[in-house]
Amino acid sequence: METKENDKMEKIISLCKRRGFVFQGSEIYGGLAGTWDYGPYGEILKWNIKDLWLKRFVRDREDMYQVDAAILMNQKVWQATGHVSGFSDPLVECEKCKKRFRADTLIDAKKCPSCGGKIGAEKQFNMLFKTNIGAVEDENSISYLRPETAQGMFVNYKNIIDTFHPKLPFGLAQIGKAFRNEIAPRDFLFRAREFEQMEIEYLIKPPKDDEWKPVFESLKEEMINFSKDIGLDEKHIHPIEVAEADRAFYSQRTIDVEFDFPFGQKELYGLAYRTDYDLKRHSESSGVALEYLDEETKEKFIPHCIEPSFGLDRAVLAVLSDAYTEDEMNGEKRVYLKFSPNVAPVKVAVFPLLKNKPDLVRKAREVYAMLKKEFGNVEFDDNGNIGKRYRRQDEIGTPFCVTIDFETIEKDGAVTVRDRDTGKQERVEIAKLEEFVKGKFK
Ligand code: ATP
């Protein structure tokens, strides 16, 4: 069945709330714009995505060092990077209703999209969240909630060199919260004021000519592979070359990996060759030498950096958007999330056919315990009729439902496994169930 794209976001947001994936931040107090709270299913979905990212970019490799730096950093970090002076978006205000907009999002730069009033002059609005550390509020106690995780890695580069003595090329990796005081948070998880990033600073020897290109290409490929790991449709992913005029001045090449969100094709991740800009700036600003000593050649230099940067919440939204499906099954309209088993918050659900038959419930509990030990996120459900239980599991994207019925006990020791996408049911022996389910997970 066709879903109009503009309805689709509303439907996803409503499903997320109804089924405990994502709630509005501070909801009982009327919310807080640009913040979202993950409920139990959303949290597992997010962790599954983080886990696949860690697997591909850290655990399966030998050249990655994962860190978890503090969110609050010395203000000098953000002075050095230029965030204090220049991390801003163009802001305009309606002279009549006083509403504020990001200037580059207005269709008519002179007219307020809300009341039709006159739009005032453009100002630069700094997106850093400022705070003060300790009891004294003065210039020296200023700190900022980090607007990106990247700098937490650059400032730990020396610690990693001194403690692990890695050979180039190697990467620093980090997953963590970032904060931006966005002028207009919108499109659900896409543009929030508090969000999570997964970033890598991949360090290479200062390249001769095009030596950096193969590394850049292989990271780009891994970004696409990761998108497939989390179940995104490759057709919806578009690596876009960013033109020189639109790149940060220090970037020699940038690719925005865009995705077909329900509200249009927009940036999901980014990949940038940042040269030696960040480490050089931190070295100049802190007065600490951030050079790398090549033990073989005895050369000293500041490494160059290629940065794959992922927005975790945007990845969650992309996964939800590709998974959201409406169809008809047995003459009934149904909504389901076609998650890849890799990311599905519940891997398998186990049901006794009837709630009031102790033998069935006992056997179902046994099967549940066995699967839970293997797959972790397994649910037991004996509420209402089977059809209702299937519908609930379909809506949260559970790939398989296992039902224990009278035949299981009286005849064949087998259970019914029902496939979420096709509704097809097959009998599987309990002894082979674990292998059967495992075989369906990539
Ligand atoms: P945009 O142009 O959409 O504002 P950006 O180019 O400023 O994004 P980066 O600074 O490159 O974004 O941040 C890296 C990643 O962090 C982005 O690719 C995106 O996935 C994520 N991200 C950035 N801003 C937000 C936000 N406000 N809410 C959620 N995720 C974000």
Share of the chain above pLDDT 90, in %: 92
31 CA distance to ligand 1 middle (Å): 22
Cα 87 to Cα 101, 142, 167, 433: the distances in Å are 17, 16, 33, 54
**Cα four-point dihedral sign 340, 345, 346, 347:** positive
Instruction: Name the residue with the closest Cα to ligand 1, atom 24.
Output: 191
Going by pLDDT thresholds of 50, 70 and 90, the confidence category of residue 3 is: low
Contact 368, 380 (CB under 8 A): yes
Q: Is residue 195 within 6 Å of ligand 1 at its C-beta?
A: yes
Instruction: Name the residue with the closest Cα to ligand 1, atom 23.
Output: 311
Nearest CA among 307, 309, 311, 308 for reference residue 196? 311
Shared-domain flag, residues 415 and 286 = no
255 CA distance to ligand 1 middle (Å): 13
Q: Is residue 269 within 6 Å of ligand 1 at its C-beta?
A: yes
Shared-domain flag, residues 312 and 352 = no
How would you classify the pairing of strands 237-241 and 194-204? Answer: unpaired
- The CATH number covering residue 393 comes to 3.40.50.800
Residue 300 within a domain: yes
Shared-domain flag, residues 224 and 355 = no
Instruction: Name the residue with the closest Cα to ligand 1, atom 25.
Output: 191
* Nearest atom within ligand 1 for CA of residue 257: 18
**Rounded CA separation 87/149 (Å):** 15
- Last residue in a domain, options 273, 305, 321: 321
Shared-domain flag, residues 316 and 359 = no
Q: Structurally, how many domains does the chain consist of?
A: 2
192 CA distance to ligand 1 middle (Å): 9
- The CATH number covering residue 247 comes to 3.30.930.10
* Nearest atom within ligand 1 for CA of residue 197: 16
Average of per-residue pLDDT across 42-51: 98
**Rounded CA separation 211/410 (Å):** 68
Mean pLDDT of the chain: 95
What is the tens place of the pLDDT at every residue in 157-214?
A: 999 999 999 999 999 999 999 999 999 999 999 999 999 999 999 999 999 999 999 9
**Residue environment code for 124-153, b if the CB has 16+ CB neighbours within 10 A, otherwise e:** ebbbbeeeeeeeeeeeeebbbbbbbbbbbb
**Rounded CA separation 409/156 (Å):** 60
How would you classify the pairing of strands 253-261 and 264-275? Answer: antiparallel
* Nearest atom within ligand 1 for CA of residue 270: 18
**Rounded CA separation 175/196 (Å):** 7
Average of per-residue pLDDT across 53-59: 98
Q: Is residue 192 within 6 Å of ligand 1 at its C-beta?
A: yes
Structural domain that includes position 55:
2-73+146-321
pLDDT for 312: 98
